[in-house]
Amino acid sequence: MYIVSTLARTGPTNQLFNIASNLDGSKYEAKILTLSSEPNDSLSELFKNGDIPISSLNMSRISSLFTAKKKILKEISDFNPDIIQTQGLRADQLLASMNLSTQWITTSRNYPYEDYLSKFGPLLGRIMASSHMRVLKMCSNLISCSRSIHEKLEHHGIKSHVIQNGVREVDDSINEFYFPYEQPVFISVGSLIPRKNMSFLIEVCESYFLKNKGSLIILGDGPQKSDLSSLVKSDKVHLLGQVKNVRQYLENSDFFMSSSLSEGLPNTVLEAASLGLPMILSNIEPHKELIENISSCAHIFVNNDISSAEIAINNIVSATHDRDGISLQCMEHFSAKAMSNNYQKFYTELLK
């Protein structure tokens, strides 16, 4: 049984689908339990189309304080799982407080002290991060989605196993669509929050486009949208908001960019690499970890250093790239099936 708050369209939800949709049906019967009603931008249909059963408690955060444990226990009793796997602070906290005899797994997909402080501010963020770290310490079957996260947790005395994120193979048939952007097209995908550091991408591309051709596309929404829009000075930078056909934009672009300050093992970078995009990435450890096996496709720059970023852009634009080769390398090392198989090996060892 996988327990999550919702199936909102996020990287962690995509990774959950990658695990569940590749389970060996002769060995495993899986069920998703969500705590709250789905948001407008939900991936629930993806799970339903994959014949993965979903139940929801449809609780608000307030009502869950009083009734969550009882309702979860009822679901557990009805399904009788050998393993319960949670995802996210809310689900992790609930399972940690229930002292069940069933084997419990959770996956750390971020470093709380970087992610929560950036998202919720220094006061609330630190409280939430400290709370989540305590919960992670209570889980004896903790998995980190990258070596980078594993090492950061280890500094706090928290032990974990490493299973790197994966990316799904995709259908090659893509319909053409209107794409009126000057080439080369640089693209970035992610929430418009401080941790993603999109303001730096806008700044460096505005500087680069003063003397060079090209366009920057940013896909995603978030609280910084208005502030970021005010930084755009030219007609070469396009904030397009949330779109459902991200893959089409990636497929038609020339280079992927990320100036993130912190990541787990970023889903968007994996997706870009799976489609063969050469990448320009900030020098954080998860980015370095990703390109160890697909190094020919990426240039690393010193974050928030315009000169370093422009050198990386010039180097990647002037080089030749084998997009099919990049895609092949990515799928050899980071396929969703391989990731799910690693989880299944972990499940088997746990049940022994």
Each residue's pLDDT tens digit, 74-91: 999 999 999 999 999 999
Is residue 280 within 8 Å of residue 298, measured between CB atoms? yes
User: Rounded to an integer, what is the distance from CA 274 to the centroid of its chain?
Assistant: 14
Q: Copy the structure tokens of residue 36.
A: 């709250």
pLDDT in tens, the chain (352 residues): 999 999 999 999 999 999 999 999 999 999 999 999 999 989 999 999 999 999 999 998 777 777 899 999 999 999 999 999 999 999 999 999 998 999 999 999 999 999 998 888 899 999 999 999 999 999 999 999 999 999 999 999 999 999 999 999 876 555 677 899 999 999 999 999 999 999 999 999 999 999 999 999 999 999 999 999 999 999 999 999 999 889 999 999 999 999 999 999 999 999 999 999 999 999 999 999 999 888 778 999 999 999 999 999 999 999 999 999 999 999 999 999 999 999 999 999 999 9
**Tell me: the pLDDT tens digits for 235-271?**
999 999 999 889 999 999 999 999 999 999 999 999 9
CA atoms of 299 and 283, how far apart (whole Å) = 9
Q: Which DSSP string corresponds to 238-265?
A: EEEE--S-HHHHHHH-SEEEE--S--SS
State how beta strands 215-219 and 83-87 pair.
unpaired
User: Given this structure, which CATH class describes domain 185-334?
Assistant: alpha beta
Instruction: Domain 2-166+335-351: give its CATH code.
Output: 3.40.50.2000
Closest CA to 145 of 166, 119, 118: 166
Helices (H), the chain: 11-21, 44-49, 61-79, 89-96, 112-120, 122-138, 147-154, 198-208, 225-231, 246-252, 267-274, 285-291, 306-318, 323-334, 336-351
- As a whole number of angstroms, the distance between CA 53 and CA 32 comes to 6
Question: Can you tell me the distance from the alpha carbon of 193 to that of 324, in angstroms, rounded to the nearest whole number?
Answer: 32
SS3 call for 208: helix
Tens digits of residue pLDDT in 95-144: 999 989 999 999 999 999 999 988 888 999 999 999 999 999 999 999 99
Which residues, including other chains, have CB under 8 Å from residue 109's CB and lie 6 or more apart?
A: 11, 12, 15, 87, 145, 149, 165, 264
Domain boundaries, the chain: 2-166+335-351, 185-334
